[in-house]
């Protein structure tokens, strides 16, 4: 019985130590019909693209590939917009600043 309690206690502690960055966004991002479920990170936009943000966080549009350069647009959750080519889109972890 005590070994069972030890296992449950260890599992409970492990569940409490999972860092926030292990979680991606809720929802999906659609870029020209390609769906990215629970997106996180940088996505390239090689041409004039339609971007639908169905996540729970705003996404940032950068003016150069690689999510470098300046943020030229922010797409709020639930909004669709057209993004010019040679841009990139950054979806940040909702638990990091």
What was the pLDDT predicted at 22?
Answer: 53
* Domain assignment of residue 44, yes or no: yes
Structural domains of the chain, count: 1
Domain-located, residue 66: yes
Asked if residue 58 is part of any domain, the answer here is yes
Instruction: Kindly state whether residue 9 falls inside one of the protein's structural domains.
Output: no
Q: Residue 4: inside a domain, yes or no? A: no
Q: What percent of the chain has pLDDT over 90?
A: 64
Of 66, 62, 10, the C-alpha closest to 42 is 66
- Total-model pTM: 0.72
Model confidence pLDDT, tens digit, residues 33-59: 999 999 999 999 988 999 999 999 999
E strands, the chain, in order = 27-31, 34-37, 41-45, 49-55, 59-62, 71-75, 79-83, 87-91
pLDDT top residue among 61 and 23: 61
**Residue-number span of the structural domain to which 43 is assigned:** 24-91
Would the pLDDT of 18 be above 80? no
Give the model's pLDDT for residue 19: 39
């Amino acid at each position: 019985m005590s070994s069972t309690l030890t296992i449950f206690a260890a599992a409970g502690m492990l569940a409490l130590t999972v860092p926030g960055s292990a979680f991606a966004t809720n929802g999906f991002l659609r870029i020209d019909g390609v769906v990215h479920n629970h997106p996180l990170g940088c996505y390239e936009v090689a041409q004039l693209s339609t971007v639908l943000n169905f996540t729970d966080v705003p996404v940032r549009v950068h003016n150069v590939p690689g999510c470098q350069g300046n943020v030229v647009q922010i797409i709020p959750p639930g909004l669709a917009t057209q993004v010019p080519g040679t841009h990139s889109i950054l979806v940040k972890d909702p638990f990091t600043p």
